[in-house]
Amino acid sequence: MSKYSEYKGLNMPSIEQDMLATWKAGDYFKKSMDQRRENESFVFYEGPPSANGMPGIHHVISRTIKDMFCRFKTMQGYLVERKAGWDTHGLPIELFVEKELGITKEDIGKKISVEDYNNKCREVVMRYKDKWEEITEKMGYWVDMSNPYVTFDNNYIETLWWALKELYNKDLLYKSVSIQPYSPAAGTGLSSAELNMPGTYKDVKDTTVVAMFSLAAPATLSGFTLHTLQTTLHETARNAWEPFVNLPIGGGLLAAEKAAEVYFMAWTTTPWTLPSNCGLTVGPNIEYVLVQTFNPYTHQPTNVILAKGLLGKYFKPEAQSGDLTLYTTDTKAIPWHILAEFKGSELEGLRYNQLLPFDGNTREIAGGDPFRVIVGDFVTTEDGTGIVHTAPAFGADDNRVGKKNNIGILTMVDRQGKFNDFTGEFSGRYVKNYKDDPDYKDVDVDIAVKMKISGNAFKVEKYEHTYPHCWRTDKPVLYYPLDAWFIRTTAVKDRMIELNKTINWKPKSTGEGRFGNWLENMVDWNLSRSRYWGTPLPIWATEERDELKCIGSIDELIAEVNKANEKLGTNQVLTREGLDMHKPYADNIILVSDSGKPMRREPDLVDVWFDSGAMPYAQLHYPFEQNPLDMLKRNFPADFIAEGVDQTRGWFYTLHALGVMLFDSVAYKAVVSNGLVLDSKGNKMSKSKGNVVDPFATIEKYSADATRWYLVTNASPWDSLKFDLEGIKEVQRKYFGTLYNTYQFFALYANVDNFTFKEDYIPVSQRPEIDRWILSSLHTLVKDVTRFLNDYEPTQAGRAMEYFLDEQLSNWYVRLCRRRFWKGEYEFDKICAYQTLYECLETLSLLTAPIAPFFADWMYQNLNKVSGRNNSVSAHLADFPLANETYIDADLEERMHLAQDVCSIVLSIRKKVNIKVRQPLQRILIPVMDPHIKEQIEKIAELIKSEVNIKEIEYLTDNDGFIKKKIKPNFKSLGARMGAKMKSVAAAINLMQQNDINILEQDRSYVLTVDGEQIAIGMEDVDIIAEDVPGWSVANKDNITIALDITITEKLQDEGNAREIVNRVQKIRKESGFEVTDRIIVNIEEREALKSAIINFNDYICAEILADSINISADIQDGIEIDVNDIVLKISILKT
């Protein structure tokens, strides 16, 4: 096998199929790990997807990122094990099954047994496993799917139980009431997922009330510590009204005691929660005022407390300090006076009279110490009154703040959504129309009316806001206290925050902002799910709940069962083999308490996020296998994980929380969170919109590599990506097309010359300048790519490779070196060229391998099969290239860049004056102010000359007096010194004449006169560039200026013609299908204008076209007509 494979065209999908077959046949994935068994490991966790839905294109991006870094680290020599996993529990699966069976949650256990239902879930959960495996393979994601972790496995669940017991023993697991979204119409709690379904939030118009809670009179406060402010407030109010005691204001005679009443104003959009009120919450730093005014409904004198910032919502500015004595029932702008001001924190502890007392909402029933003012951080002054009516039963915030302040709880509404029987005239009434009763009367309105009459309402109005509805019944949800088990994450909050700071987040903002804030505002983790298909909570309780038992392993469970059989006389049979830990079996197990009472399992399931968060240990079946600690040490924490940014508060959080709680450690050291994949117009992809991209079709049509490359290089992974197939096509054309072309070019000539890299490696220092340059660039690239990938900056890495391939390798090195490959004998220079290009291609294939594993390996193998240079048969078994610093020559890279600029400028002048490149020209002039630049250009003069077809380069120094200089102020250096004078100084510099510039250059300084002031500037304050060489064709770019001599002498003309002839003959050779090595004889028709060219450049022409001779004839038969610089003639070519 001594020939490089050549191809007719680039067909990436077919390359990928070949490579997949090769990988499989050679078992390369396994090999890539096996050969590094003894090495340091790089720990990676695969976030488990759920296989009950089809994989989408958004899965391809996160898996590309995972795969890329795992491959990269493997090539760097680490052992990177990648165990696949499946997330198998949870609500989405249950909903899917319900839908498929056409049942609802209520039917489970009735129309279908829990056993059958769960079996169905178990079946459904792996429904698309095949599809997932297929996409995994096709996209080139190397992950071990032969031995995945599955969250419903007994072993997996056993570890979860172990973890739960650890938490239980650390007193981090507790049961409590929590406020959850609940649908009275459906009789079921709703998950946040259900609440986030489209159409759940609707605009509704509700009756809202600003309720007035009267401050308790000091006299009624026996038994409680008196708040001094309480007495003061009453006295202030009484004193304020004192002068009016005998006046008939407000539509009645003022009663002194009534006038001394002080009310808190609190707004609610759910008046039905008022009977359950237990507290009023104020913001500790909010300013509040006591206002003397009139009740707008009863017109009685009154005094209210509300946030100062919200006065404008209830009182007209023009009525401030209005005359109270003039108030009548008809007064539009109710007069008001501010009597006092205080901060929220001062109000804390004030007591008020219950607003709507009934039999069922007494202080005793509430428990705790209700009807007090408390403080809470969540209070704002954006709407309402700055005082929040707090009903701990019906709001999560309320509940939290209520618990913290021990104000008890009142639940005056039952689970059907109606007031209980102890709510006076409202007993039995539904708070919303849950039963579709045509005669339903809004209970909120009646409550509001009652309050208006009693003087406890300040404002009643309809208010439109969004409110969640049950997606199944379309009825408003209410927040309802339900029993639940919690993990006390707040206990380790500070530690979690501290450890989070050590995690390398990509992007940083997700870790600091989104995740950091989330940790700051952390609440305890509600672990309970009242569903059927999930990990059962391993807690058993006696009926009175006075004894609890948390089970931490299957063995322990079996032992406890045996104990129960013994003590309770039951006959339960439980073996490890026959065990299913799910419902309903787990629920049937009865254990015995220490005091001998039967215990039943707490019916809840565990949040699926616990399943996935415990995956680092559960996938190992920790600690139930051999050498658990050693095993854990090798697999925890992860060095790297990656998932979508939507996992920030999901998987990323639960991993972190459990890592901290169980092991006081981070669970991952680095995390890449990728953004969303949107459609090409920037809309979210969704099935209903029909804009989802099918990853199978995409890969099949455009290849996995192009897709992967596109996903990685188009935008940073964490920016949301507008997915556009056109972009993939572009990548295919641009990157892979160019790489392919370059390889093809190499293969074509290397095969001709039998280059197989059998010669010794020619020391780079001995190679031509251009070879040293491309190798320098190549090794700079290796350095950059390595750095970027180590930094988890794949986009930068990919773009650096694109730049190298396109701008440096293909468009410069190969283009300039073409001749070296097809011209001349197979000797030193040619071998240099082959070795150099080979090394570029080989290295590039290895650098590319993590991102585009198929194409890279394909190219690598094509090269390596022939040369056998590398011991590894696949790029993925090879080592990642190491930059050789000795190859890197910054000076060389700089001057080549200079050469590219110079050529580009010359070409643009040629274009401007319309002289084609094939026409040689005598010289260019380059004004050089900087000796370093001249030195640099001199070293690459040959290259420039041949590239732009000129004979010589001359350098102009300013002494020659030809150059017209331009001076520009250097704002950066000048700005700092000049400050406000900058503008006029800049203007003065722009006005400097040629001789001024000369003086500056000579003296290295110059004194400007600006606004009558003398200001000295130095060389560092300006840029001086040669702008023009009068009388020449000139162009410039940045600081380089070039003048081109466009005189075409006769000799140049001849040479141009000769080149033109060569060009035409070459074309004919090619069209006639001659081999590149065929020798020819040329007969050319006589033309006076071309004669001298043919005679003078005979040797040149013959050498170029491999002609043995050129004969000029007066007449040519059967010739081909050609056009040489507008001269038409015939030419005939014969093979010798």
The catalytic residue positions are: 48, 87, 609, 647, 651, 684, 687
Residues 898-917 that bind RNA (CB under 7 A): 904, 907-908, 911, 916-917
Q: Is residue 466 a contact residue for RNA (CB under 7 A)? A: yes
Whichever of 378 and 828 has its CB closer to RNA, that residue is: 378
Q: Are 134 and 54 in contact (CB under 8 A)?
A: no
Q: For RNA, which stretch binds (CB under 7 A), given 133-141, 839-847, 1006-1014, 1070-1078?
A: 1070-1078
Least Å distance between CB 668 and RNA?
18
Residues 694-733 that bind RNA (CB under 7 A): 714-716, 719-722, 724, 726-727, 730, 733
Whichever of 600 and 722 has its CB closer to RNA, that residue is: 722
Size of the site for RNA (CB under 7 A): 106
Residues 194-253 that bind RNA (CB under 7 A): 195-196, 200-201, 208
Q: Is residue 183 a contact residue for RNA (CB under 7 A)? A: no
Whichever of 382 and 594 has its CB closer to RNA, that residue is: 382
The CA distance from 711 to 628, in Å, is 39
Q: For RNA, which stretch binds (CB under 7 A), given 61-69, 387-395, 655-663, 769-777?
A: 387-395
Q: Is residue 1127 a contact residue for RNA (CB under 7 A)? A: no
Q: Is residue 975 a contact residue for RNA (CB under 7 A)? A: yes
SS3 readout for 598-640: EEEECCCEECHHHHHHCHHHHCCCCCCCCCHHHHHHHHCCECE
Cα Rg for the chain, rounded, in angstroms?
A: 42
Helix 828-848 vs helix 737-753: crossing angle, to nearest 10 = 150
Least Å distance between CB 560 and RNA?
35
Q: Looking at 279, 301, 969, 1056, which residue binds RNA (CB under 7 A)?
A: 969
Sign of CA dihedral 182, 187, 193, 194: negative
Q: For RNA, which stretch binds (CB under 7 A), given 122-130, 230-238, 265-273, 287-295?
A: 265-273
Whichever of 244 and 746 has its CB closer to RNA, that residue is: 746
Whichever of 143 and 388 has its CB closer to RNA, that residue is: 388
Q: Is residue 972 a contact residue for RNA (CB under 7 A)? A: yes
Token couple for 457: 């309402």
DSSP line for 29-96:
HHHHHHTTTTSPB--B-PPPPPTTS---HHHHHHHHHHHHHHHHHHHTT-B---EEEE---SHHHHHH
CA distances to 106, 167, 268, 452 from 206, in Å: 30, 44, 10, 17
Q: Are 426 and 393 in contact (CB under 8 A)?
A: no
The contact pattern for RNA, residues 147-176, with x = CB under 7 A and - = no contact, is ------------------------------
Least Å distance between CB 227 and RNA?
22
Whichever of 260 and 1008 has its CB closer to RNA, that residue is: 1008
The CA distance from 599 to 539, in Å, is 9
The CA distance from 424 to 359, in Å, is 7
Q: Looking at 144, 346, 397, 414, which residue binds RNA (CB under 7 A)?
A: 397
Cis peptide before 284 (omega within 30 of 0): no
What is the number of alpha carbons within 13 Å of residue 838 lying toward its C-beta?
30
Q: Looking at 1106, 1112, 1120, 1127, which residue binds RNA (CB under 7 A)?
A: 1106
The contact pattern for RNA, residues 857-886, with x = CB under 7 A and - = no contact, is ------------------------------
Whichever of 88 and 276 has its CB closer to RNA, that residue is: 276
Reduce the DSSP state of residue 1133 to 3 states and report it: strand
Residues 605-624 that bind RNA (CB under 7 A): none
Q: Is residue 980 a contact residue for RNA (CB under 7 A)? A: yes
**608 CA to centre of own chain:** 23
Q: Provide the pairing of β-strand 1022-1028 with 1013-1018.
A: unpaired
Q: For RNA, which stretch binds (CB under 7 A), given 13-21, 42-50, 165-173, 381-389?
A: 381-389
Q: Is residue 411 a contact residue for RNA (CB under 7 A)? A: no
Q: Looking at 251, 737, 768, 1119, which residue binds RNA (CB under 7 A)?
A: 737
SS3 readout for 264-313: EEEEECCHHHHHHCCEEEECCCCEEEEEEEECCCCCCEEEEEEEHHHHHH
Q: Looking at 1047, 1077, 1117, 1118, which residue binds RNA (CB under 7 A)?
A: 1077
Q: Is residue 992 a contact residue for RNA (CB under 7 A)? A: no
Amino acid identity of residue 812, one-letter, is W
Whichever of 320 and 1053 has its CB closer to RNA, that residue is: 1053
Q: For RNA, which stretch binds (CB under 7 A), given 624-632, 852-860, 1073-1081, 1092-1100?
A: 1073-1081
In the block, which residue shows the tokens 């979508």? 644
The CA distance from 132 to 812, in Å, is 43
Residues 634-673 that bind RNA (CB under 7 A): 645-646, 648-650
Phi, psi of 550 (to 5 degrees): -110, 125
Whichever of 240 and 1022 has its CB closer to RNA, that residue is: 1022
Q: Is residue 447 a contact residue for RNA (CB under 7 A)? A: no
* β strands within 153-270, DSSP E: 173-183, 188-189, 201-214, 262-268
In the block, which residue shows the tokens 């302040």? 405
The CA distance from 347 to 290, in Å, is 11
Q: Is residue 1102 a contact residue for RNA (CB under 7 A)? A: no
What is the number of alpha carbons within 13 Å of residue 419 lying toward its C-beta?
24
Least Å distance between CB 384 and RNA?
4
The closest alpha carbon to 410, from 386, 389, 435, 380, belongs to 389
Residues 676-695 that bind RNA (CB under 7 A): 676, 678, 680, 682-684
Q: Is residue 501 a contact residue for RNA (CB under 7 A)? A: no
Reduce the DSSP state of residue 459 to 3 states and report it: strand
The contact pattern for RNA, residues 1047-1066, with x = CB under 7 A and - = no contact, is ----------------x--x
Residues 57-86 that bind RNA (CB under 7 A): none
Residues 120-139 that bind RNA (CB under 7 A): none
Q: Is residue 924 a contact residue for RNA (CB under 7 A)? A: no
Least Å distance between CB 393 and RNA?
12
CA distances to 305, 894, 971, 1003 from 905, in Å: 78, 17, 27, 32
Q: What pairs with residue 343 in β-bridges?
A: 287
The CA distance from 460 to 267, in Å, is 9
The contact pattern for RNA, residues 472-491, with x = CB under 7 A and - = no contact, is -------x------------
Q: For RNA, which stretch binds (CB under 7 A), given 15-23, 332-340, 350-358, 735-743?
A: 735-743
Residues 766-795 that bind RNA (CB under 7 A): 795
Q: Are 45 and 643 in contact (CB under 8 A)?
A: no
Whichever of 558 and 748 has its CB closer to RNA, that residue is: 748
The closest alpha carbon to 538, from 610, 488, 444, 479, belongs to 610
Least Å distance between CB 682 and RNA?
4
Q: Provide the pairing of β-strand 457-468 with 188-189.
A: unpaired
Q: Is residue 348 a contact residue for RNA (CB under 7 A)? A: no
Reduce the DSSP state of residue 847 to 3 states and report it: helix
The closest alpha carbon to 375, from 364, 362, 363, 386, belongs to 386
The CA distance from 168 to 549, in Å, is 9
Q: Is 418 annotated as a binding residue?
A: no
Residues 816-855 that bind RNA (CB under 7 A): 818, 822
Q: Is residue 538 a contact residue for RNA (CB under 7 A)? A: no
Least Å distance between CB 571 and RNA?
45
Q: For RNA, which stretch binds (CB under 7 A), given 130-138, 314-322, 388-396, 575-583?
A: 388-396
Annotated binding site: 687
Annotated binding site for ATP: 687
